[in-house]
A = this chain, B = another copy of it.
């Protein structure tokens, strides 16, 4: 009976271990964990909490463990529930009782908070780098196609001529905001939680400023209960990533539209499209579709952690362990999606012929015609009405605006003069000569500014 109970218990223990263990995913934090422990060991020695020689042994042990992990020689034992225990257990194997001193004046609660902050700090830098690469690809594509005009769309209906470069630089701006947002968030990541202990602070004469300097933090946390309970910095990264993926989903949508047979503005490189064995001319934008589709998981990860954090009493609760898998998935997805978009944009070809053909659809210069009347003295709302009637007439007659005779123009307003025929796509573009407008010289300036931004690095 006792034996049976033992076995049953064993089964339960295994199930529970599988359910609660974070080692299968938090092993990814080994570098951060070791870096944090090395700083901690040095601080303990500096403060006389452990001896200098113990500290040296611990640091050496940790460094050799890092090597073991990076060389694939480290055994991640399933029974150790997290990366902290896995590393500490190995350290004790290597250094004996000395290793058992490392955890003095520390708890897994402040330790994991530290590891995550170190991780996100790195990830923010990587994300910014990847965004820069995509910006570079957009700028290059814009620069190589400065003379290409496409319809500017509202409601997916052609509205006014714009430079393709102008359209591409709109994404440059979105990505610029992504970088700005990430940089801002660093301020709230860059806070050392170590020294908060389990949640009340530690009963040792630790030097938190030393730790902070060693690990390159800006500040130390000001409240121990908060420090072990806080995951704002994870949420803030996930929120920024969600907005970033939203931007990529818009880019992906346009790539899909533009590479459709109906639009045909661009042709994807073979490397970034999937062919059909049977329709080899067909280039499916699978990559762009996946970028668009993966937006869902990044949103989902944000929603997941927001849900998990809702209504948790202080301080540390095991629920917090659920912060990591979603974060890792978001980081992996965002970095890969940025990278893949960079390649896709860098290699696609613009089909100028189809772009030109699209300019013939719609009466893209109607707004310019109204602006013309306003400049001749008509009130804005009246000018719109007059042009509306004129375009209606042209549609009925099956004529383009250029094909209307001067007499026809004059029927609609006495303000029309012969110079009405000087309204062209080129004049329309040139007229949008304000900061942020699509006038070629403004776009050239925006491009130059963008290159300067990229040149300066992040």
Contacts and interface: CB of A to CB of B under 8 A. Distances in A.
Interface string A300-341: 111111111111111111111110011000000000110110
> In the complex, which range does the number of interface residues on chain A fall in?
35 or more
Interface string A242-277: 110010011011101100111100000101101011
Nearest to A432: B201
Interface stretch (A67-75, A128-136, A365-373, A405-413): A365-373
Contact of A438 (B224, B319, B435, B449): B224
Majority secondary structure of chain A interface residues (helix, strand, loop or mixed): helix
Contacts of A187: 180, 184
Interface in A1-33: 9, 12-13, 15-16, 18-20
Contacts of A157: 260-261, 282-285
A161 B200 contact: yes
A229 interface: yes
Given A200-B161, A280-B392, A361-B262, A322 B294 contact: yes
Number of identical monomers bound together in the oligomeric complex: 4
A303 B296 contact: yes
A170 B311 contact: no
A20 B286 CA distance: 8
A176 to B, nearest CB: 8
Given A340-B16, A343-B12, A260 B436 contact: no
A100 B319 contact: no
B295 A347 contact: no
Interface stretch (A117-125, A374-382, A414-422): A374-382
A387 B279 CA distance: 8
Given A16-B343, A177-B188, A197-B432, A243 B254 contact: no
A354 to B, nearest CB: 10
Given A16-B343, A442-B201, A296 B290 contact: no
A290 B188 contact: no
A311 B199 contact: no
A311 B292 contact: yes
A427 to B, nearest CB: 9
A422 to B, nearest CB: 13
A102 B314 CA distance: 44
A385 B280 CA distance: 9
Nearest to A297: B304
Given A155-B286, A220-B435, A262-B262, A253 B311 contact: yes
A120 to B, nearest CB: 14
A103 interface: yes
A311 B314 contact: no
A208 B157 CA distance: 27
Given A151-B261, A201-B438, A310-B310, 15 more contacts: A13-B271, A101-B380, A152-B198, A154-B198, A162-B200, A172-B223, A174-B232, A197-B432, A227-B436, A278-B367, A278-B384, A294-B308, A296-B306, A297-B322, A307-B307
